[in-house]
Structure formats: structure tokens, C-alpha cells
Amino acid sequence: MPPENSKQGIWFATYLQPHEAMLRAWLRSRFSDDDAIDDIVQEAFLKVLSASETTKIDSPKAFLFATARNIALGRIRKQTVRSELSLADIDALGVLDEDADVSREVARSEELELLTHAIQSLPARCRQIITLRKIYGLSQKEIASELDISVNTVETQGTIGMRKIAQFFNQLDK
């Protein structure tokens, strides 16, 4: 990890490190390979730190968790391709729903990544409101209180944010 006195070290200590225990618990609940969790956490921290140098990340926790999930799924895919895991081993990992197949999970992971990019492309206020509403499930009243703005502003900015996300995905279809 970066030195504590560096700008990157301060950003890490402020926005990423407080979520380490929760990230580890979340990974353990979804991926049974305890040996790989340390590596996944470390790699996720490095990727998010690297991304923070070139991109403003308004939701570091959500970005960290999405990054860690993608890393874990990527490892499973690589192991599967190398035939290091049998199909029975993949089921034992508990990553995939029993009725979901690998292609659906890969598509879901890619969709999550696209959604993350769509949300990151929003103006700051819209991004905050969409993240609090859709990711954290807060009500409009709770968001207004949290951000010290009116409920009407939350509703208006939320609508603008959702329209911009729809435009983002419409441009991908063209």
C-alpha cells in the first residue's frame, strides 16, 4: 500500500481502508476460496487506487466492491478455462445461483461494469443521488436529509440522472 503521507496514501486511508473488513466478509460469503481472498482484496485496492489517479471516483466503496467481485469472477473463469476446477468445484464455490449458468453470470458482471461506468459519467449531484437511491436504497426524503437539499431537488436530479443513464445505454445500442 502507498505511504501514509502521500496523497494516494491519504485517499486510501480515507476511502478504501475503512471498508476492508466488510469487503473481506462479503467476499467470504460469496467465494469459498479463503486463500484467494487476500489476493483479491490486495488486487482490488491496487486497481481502485490506480483508477483514482486518472478518474474521479465518487463512490469508492461501491467501486471497490464491484472491482473485487469482477476480480474474483475473473479468477474463477481463468481457473475454469485452465481446467483447474471441475464443474462440481464451481458449484461448491457458491458464486453462481443454482439456476444461473456461467454465461448469465458473465453477462451480469459485464452489465454491472457498464452500469458503474454509466453512473460515473453522471454529473456529481446526480451521481450522488442515484448511488444513494439505487445502490443504498435510501428514500428521497432520506437522501434530501443526507445531502441537505430539498426532496424536490432529489426528485429532479434523480430523474435527470436516470435519463442520462438511459442515454448512455441507448448510445451503446447504436
What distance in Å separates the CA atoms of residue 110 and residue 47, rounded to the nearest whole number?
A: 17
- What is the reported pLDDT for 128? 87
- What is the reported pLDDT for 31? 73
- What is the reported pLDDT for 45? 92
Q: What is the pTM of this model?
A: 0.47
**Which amino acid makes up residue 6?**
S
- What is the reported pLDDT for 85? 44
Sorted by where each starts, the structural domains of the chain and their CATH numbers stand as 1-120 (no CATH), 121-174 (1.10.10.10)
Per-10-residue mean pLDDT, the chain, length 174? 69 88 83 79 90 85 86 75 47 49 66 81 88 83 90 91 86 70
- What is the reported pLDDT for 79? 64
- What is the reported pLDDT for 118? 84
